[in-house]
Amino acid sequence: MAMFTKVTLYTDRDGRAKWREEELPLADGTPQAMLSAVFPSAGYQLRHSPVGFRSPWHCTPRPQWVFILGGEMEIGLQDGSTRVFKPGEHFFSADVLPEGASFDSKVHGHWSAQRGKRPLVTLFVKV
């Protein structure tokens, strides 16, 4: 069976952002066009970030898919690691503030930044 790799940015039990990957089955469709189950969504938003953009530390307000349409996006975590996403790549951003917590930029969240010579263009699909 064909599989789709879902890359997820999530908040671990310690309140820190981390990455994980999971395989989603593509069990529907035809051999030429394998499909996943239909997942709910609540709208989408487009963003253009100029060359040099870098966000402050933040948590995702609510889970959303992030698809890179143009340019490159770098995500930095509290442990000092970074990951770069290029056009056609994606991740599921579920790095939300733990319930009852007050945001602490030394513990919670991640930052994002435009990388390379082209502006960053992203598509956010809200869930």
pTM above 0.85, yes or no: yes
Tell me what pLDDT residue 1 has. 87
User: What domains lie within the chain, and their CATH numbers?
Assistant: 2-126 (2.60.120.10)
Q: Is 106 helix (H, G, I), strand (E, B) or coil?
A: coil
In order of 3, 19, 51, the CA distances from 11 in angstroms are 24, 9, 28
Q: Going residue by residue through the chain (127 aa), what tens digit of pLDDT does each one get?
A: 899 999 999 999 999 999 999 999 999 999 999 999 999 999 999 999 999 999 999 999 999 999 999 999 999 999 999 999 999 999 999 999 999 999 999 999 999 999 999 999 999 999 9
Q: What pLDDT is stored for residue 115 in this prediction?
A: 98
Beta bridge partners of 9: 19, 93
